[in-house]
Amino acid sequence: MTNETSVSLITPVMATYSRFPVTIVKGKGSYVWDDQGNQFLDFTSGIATCNLGHVPDPVKEKLEEQLQNLWHCSNLYHIPNQQKLAALLTENSCGDQVFFCNSGAEANEAAIKLARRYANKVKGNSSSEVVTFQQSFHGRTLATLTATGQEKIQHGFAPLLPGFSYLPFNDEEALEKLTTLKPAAVLLELVQGEGGVIPAKQEWVTKLAQICKENEILLMVDEIQTGIGRTGTLFAYEQYSIEPDVISIAKGLGSGFPIGAIIAKEKAAKGFEPGSHGSTFGGNPLATAAGLATVTHIVESNLLEDVKVMSDYLDQQLQALKVKYSFIKEVRGKGLLKGLVVEINALEIVQKAITNHLLILTAGPNVVRVLPPLTVTKKEILECIKVLEETFQSIEKGA
């Protein structure tokens, strides 16, 4: 390495993240520790990923067991854990078949490919258009950032892929355009996470589902952030009385172990056949061991009922802060995916909270996102509220 290179590079890791000045080395339950031994209450859950908390025992045990047997063998062979996890997911959803991959972006990429191929090969339809919604977020691959309805995510990556249209979120009148466009599919989040923690309205979703059904448009729901119990049901779509044709999941599926998937109804799954799509690592023995242990624990325990109780409790506490601090304009979200809409810089709140050993997130410039693990306790919620109050008091004094 030359002197010029060593001076210009602070770290060999590419600067794709603006990182906070904390180095996390250990985690358990709702807490993490940095390399200096400091303890933090983690209400990010690894961005809605560690739904059972950090290093959950039921998942750890199954991973340790699998580590002794087989790590990888490729999808050229049958993988027992994969079969079991697919069966568990279809038994607890409206879907019939599952494709496994490694991340949320890959899951949405697979959903987009499935929609196009279903339209072209199964329906014989020349339209491969996919409609998404403004302020959505669907991933960082070229296809999924094109699907994302935010210019800031797409900036610098032109030319974007053709075949995508965007409609305003929660706008019933705009849905009429679908009858003219007649796209191959519609892809949406039922709570826009990165876009500001904005829940979809029931009436809007009902109308959207009806239009899709009447016009034979695939209804694809991105449950990357809302799925695996985050909103109080295994999938958020259950609360809207709809049945998507395709569901994309990741994040919480593996308790932090990289795994993603799409769950499709049989008619949509016909879009794929041997050789049409694949993944070297997708659904390998280790990943599906983590996924199987995670989902099994959620569906066989009372955890989802606990999520509803803790969600109500957290909402009450956040609403109390809203009454107390005038710069908090709204508390919104579903389940344990909460957003505080503020009139000040949300990043300032997040940074000050870190100094008080609380980890939270932003969701745009004026929304603070709160994502505790599904295993959170009332004591931990009150600990979070105490730090938020200290943070808000500090901001008020500074102002």
Tell whether 170 and 119 lie within a shared domain.
Answer: yes
pLDDT of residue 398: 74
Tell whether 170 and 277 lie within a shared domain.
Answer: yes
Tell whether 273 and 316 lie within a shared domain.
Answer: no
| Parts of the chain with a pLDDT under 70 | 1-9, 399
Tell whether 230 and 291 lie within a shared domain.
Answer: yes
pLDDT of residue 4: 43
Reported as a single tens digit per residue, the pLDDT across 87-146 is: 999 999 999 999 999 999 999 999 999 999 999 999 887 789 999 999 999 999 999 999
pLDDT of residue 58: 97
Q: What is the CATH number of the domain that holds 245?
A: 3.40.640.10
Ranges of beta strands (E only) in the chain are 24-28, 31-34, 39-42, 97-101, 130-133, 164-167, 185-188, 191-192, 198-199, 218-222, 246-249, 260-264, 328-334, 337-342, 358-359, 361-362, 367-370
pLDDT of residue 10: 72
Tell whether 242 and 360 lie within a shared domain.
Answer: no
Burial environment of residue 24 by CB neighbours within 10 A (0 to 12, 13 to 18, 19 or more): middle
Helix (H) or strand (E) segment spanning residue 62:
helix 57-67
Reported as a single tens digit per residue, the pLDDT across 174-222 is: 999 999 999 999 999 999 999 999 999 999 999 999 999 999 999 999 9
Quote the tokens at residue 75: 């999808």
Tell whether 121 and 238 lie within a shared domain.
Answer: yes
If you ran DSSP here, which 8-state letter would residue 188 be given?
E
**Of 300, 331, 365, which residue is a domain's last?**
300
What span, in angstroms and rounded, lies between the C-alpha atoms of 51 and 298? 10
**Of 252, 274, 300, which residue is a domain's last?**
300
Domain count, the chain: 2
Q: What is the CATH number of the domain that holds 14?
A: 3.90.1150.10
Tell whether 283 and 310 lie within a shared domain.
Answer: no
pLDDT of residue 5: 41
Which domain, by its residues, includes 341?
3-55+303-398
Tell whether 122 and 265 lie within a shared domain.
Answer: yes
Q: Please check whether residue 186 is in contact with residue 220, taking contact to mean a CB–CB distance below 8 angstroms.
A: yes
pLDDT of residue 125: 79
The single-letter code of the amino acid at 216 is: E
The alpha carbon dihedral of 379, 290, 304, 201 has a sign of positive
Tell whether 263 and 350 lie within a shared domain.
Answer: no
What span, in angstroms and rounded, lies between the C-alpha atoms of 309 and 376? 10
**Of 300, 331, 350, which residue is a domain's last?**
300
In the sheet that 367-370 helps form, which strands lie side by side, from edge to edge?
Answer: 328-334, 337-342, 367-370, 361-362
